[in-house]
Structure 1
Amino acid sequence: MQVAIIGAGVGGLALAQGLKQAGIDVRVYERDASARFRKQGYRIHISEVGEQALAAVLPEVVRRRVIETATHPGDLVAGFDTSLTPTFEQVYPGAGPDTVSAIDRYAFRRALMTGLDDVLVFGKQFTSYAETAAGRVQLTFADGSTETADVLVGADGVGSRVRAQLVPDFEVIDSGIRCIYGKIPVTPAVRGVAPDAFLRGFCFVTDGQGPGAAFAPVLFRTPPEEYGDYLMAVMTGTQAQLGHSDEELFGMAPGDLWGVVAKHVADWHPAIGELVAAADPSAAFPITLRTCTEIASWPTGRITLLGDAVHPMLPSAGAGANTALWDAARLTEALADGSLPEYERDVRPHALAAVDESLRNAKHLFNLDLGA
């Protein structure tokens, strides 16, 4: 069997590792020119579901690499008002030395690429597929080249071109929420000003009316060569709350974009203003939060889907990457034993539970009601 995966994100790479370990011929096609950081996010929460999936698909050398490059586990999720008065707090039990509860996205992808040099093909933008008379799938790329495979897996994210052809009527919903991501290097000065909670786990600050801001530590076990420990900072809000249209937000230079964040926290607790001022302004970028309310359904054949391509969701449950990893583990099993219809049956209820949780949480975090 030859399997072609479109997209070298977390789910696609985990699937490639699982298939290679199972002795299945696999190739991953990625539109990015290299493995360098993509403007998608910074810190990823890993749940027990995600850890179990990684253990199921990764060779031990790769799993150890993931553990080594993960962050030191946090033990807190908390909320604050803009004066830094606590509004909620949940403390988690201490984690073991090999626990992976959070990881830097770039470090994670690089770890997942371990041993896949002969599998990964960069700079290949997928455009369409066609099923051939010989019972295979032909892939066409933007450069005019083609490849063939027995099975095609769309792991190409919320804007999946594979899904667009396979399930053209699937609805992806713009939540109306925009995020401005940033990085605050953890220097001694930042440690001196940051509230203790901000260095323990995920913290969300809001007055309940305007934009909110999340802070989460990325304190590496082993940092990448390019950078060290940092606080992820994310401002969330609607275009009206942020005071800028999409055209303006997505057209801004990084420094100007981070200036939007600085403006909105100017009358918040001074510690927040100092943290925002300590950020690397060149690291700022915006994204649109999209979701679904139903899970895509398609006829079983030689084309299937994984991760955000089938169940885009809001980050408010911290479940997007973990659900994609679950998909990868289940799809590895299905392709290895010929049970692809069972994978497609199982993925829907599992993903819908995560989507529903993210929508429920969005009501509290973003004052957003999309019907969950």
Structure 2
Amino acid sequence: MKVTVIGAGLGGLAAAIALRQQGIDTQVYEKARGLQPIGAGLSLFPNGLNVLNAILPGLADSLIRVGSQAQRVNLRKSNGDLIAQNQLPLQEQYGQPMLNIRWSQLQETLASVLPPDLIHLNYRCVGFDQTDSGVEVQFENGETAQADVLIGADGIHSIVRQLLVGDGSPRYAGRLSWRAVLQYQHQLLPADEVTIMTSIDGKIFTLIDVGDGQIFWSAGALSERENLHKQATEVKSHVLETFAGWAEPVEAIVTATAAEAIVERPIWDRPPLESWNKGRVTLLGDAAHPMVPSLGQGANTAFEDAWELAQFLAQQPSIEAAFAHYENSRIPRTQVIQARSAFQGSRSYDTDSETFLRGIAEQARASQAEFEEWLYEYGRG
């Protein structure tokens, strides 16, 4: 079997590793000209770390050595008053920590596991044709790739999804975000801690230690329109203005951040799909089930997808059977996490998803303890 993966993000690289571990010939095609660092950090939870070790023994352990294992979360008002201070006993309860790490560090680690000639850069997918015997992928540079299976792991703006489903652009979730990673120290930011600051007008500012003396900060604010600024200096000025008067270290860390390092993005999501595949083509990660980032489960669930899909392709008697098992296993779980993310992120889905919400609302509204046990026990041996 030969598999083509579109997208060298976290899900696509994890899928390639998982497939190769099953002895499946896999090639990855990425539209970017290089795997460039981006100003973001992310959290890996026990379910994501467990499944990374299942994909390749020791993979999660290597990440733990370079990231930050969060020990405590501090919740504060915008004026600095402490609302709550919670210890994080995830290691004791689920066998893995909450690991905070730079996005680019994680991507580099996953890419380093794969042979360099397996990842093809500057290949923008523009189409595919499939027959009973295979699928041909077309790229903007005029080249093609032949495979038995095509996996779209190309994110929330997935071209594979559009060619497969044709459901248009993602939906704006009514919130703009800003983020950056920088080398930074402050007495209010101890190592291995997360600080979340909130206000009653829909603004939030999060500060996370991601290891090696680096801090990842992200900010969000409600906005009716998703208009973005054209100049980096305008972006930085807007963040300082939006969070003016907030307690330290908000102003200090934004001021210390180079304007060019701040990434400005709208928050998008999509309604859940009833099916992720047609013929020899399927979806994975954000291309299949993008979520608002309130639970930090985007990468974690993409790793789950990668592991299960590789298992099914290796073990089932046909591609059709493998895809059927993949959907039956993954869609119900990711729908619950999508809905929980939406509820927790104060994001209501449109009425066209009423049936979806009604069907899983009970699980989506389960108590936090019940939900966390269901979520984090995944993949635990």
Give TM-score, length-normalised by structure 2.
Answer: 0.83
CA distance in 2, matches of 1:76, 1:295: 36
Q: 2:46 matched to 1:15? A: no
Query: Is contact 2:43-2:99 (8 Å) kept?
Result: yes
Q: CA deviation at 1:205?
A: 1.4
Q: CA deviation at 1:300?
A: 4.8
The secondary structure found in structure 2 opposite 1:324 is helix
- Aligned letter for 2:107? R
Q: CA RMSD in A?
A: 2.3
Write the mapping of 1:214-363 to structure 2, written as runs, cut at 5 A: 214-220=206-212, 229-239=213-223, 246-247=226-227, 249-253=228-232, 255-338=233-316, 339-363=322-346
* 1:42-69 Cα shifts (integer Å, max 9, x gaps): 1111111101110111254x55543333
CA distance in 2, matches of 1:270, 1:307: 36
Most deviating of 210-219 and 23-32: 210-219
Look up the match of 2:75.
79
CA distance in 2, matches of 1:261, 1:142: 37
CA distance in 1, matches of 2:23, 2:244: 56
Q: CA deviation at 1:173?
A: 2.1
Query: Is contact 1:313-1:358 (8 Å) kept?
Result: yes
- Relative distance call for 1:111 and 1:126 in structure 2 (3 A) is same
Look up the match of 2:143.
145
Could you list the runs of 4 or more consecutive aligned residues of structure 1 that deviate by over 6 angstroms after TM superposition? none
Most deviating of 255-264 and 157-166: 255-264
CA distance in 1, matches of 2:215, 2:244: 19
* 1:113-149 Cα shifts (integer Å, max 9, x gaps): 12321311111001111013x6110000011111110
- Relative distance call for 1:19 and 1:236 in structure 2 (3 A) is same
CA distance in 1, matches of 2:11, 2:111: 12
CA distance in 2, matches of 1:295, 1:94: 31
- Relative distance call for 1:195 and 1:99 in structure 2 (3 A) is closer
CA distance in 1, matches of 2:104, 2:167: 33
- Relative distance call for 1:20 and 1:167 in structure 2 (3 A) is same
Query: Is contact 1:183-1:280 (8 Å) kept?
Result: no
Equivalent residue in structure 1 for 2:54, among 48, 53, 56: 56
For structure 1, which runs of at least 5 residues remain unmatched after alignment?
221-228
Look up the match of 1:203.
195
For structure 2, which runs of at least 5 residues remain unmatched after alignment?
317-321, 351-356, 358-381
- Aligned letter for 1:13? L
Look up the match of 1:126.
125
- Aligned letter for 1:251? K
Q: CA deviation at 1:95?
A: 4.0
Q: CA deviation at 1:341?
A: 1.3
Look up the match of 1:226.
none
Q: CA deviation at 1:266?
A: 2.4
CA distance in 2, matches of 1:269, 1:298: 45
CA distance in 1, matches of 2:216, 2:68: 14
The secondary structure found in structure 2 opposite 1:164 is helix
In the alignment of these two chains, the number of paired residues is 343
Look up the match of 2:361.
none
The secondary structure found in structure 2 opposite 1:318 is coil
- Relative distance call for 1:144 and 1:353 in structure 2 (3 A) is same
Identity %: 27
- Relative distance call for 1:256 and 1:336 in structure 2 (3 A) is same
Query: Is contact 1:127-1:140 (8 Å) kept?
Result: yes
Q: CA deviation at 1:100?
A: 6.3
Q: CA deviation at 1:94?
A: 7.1
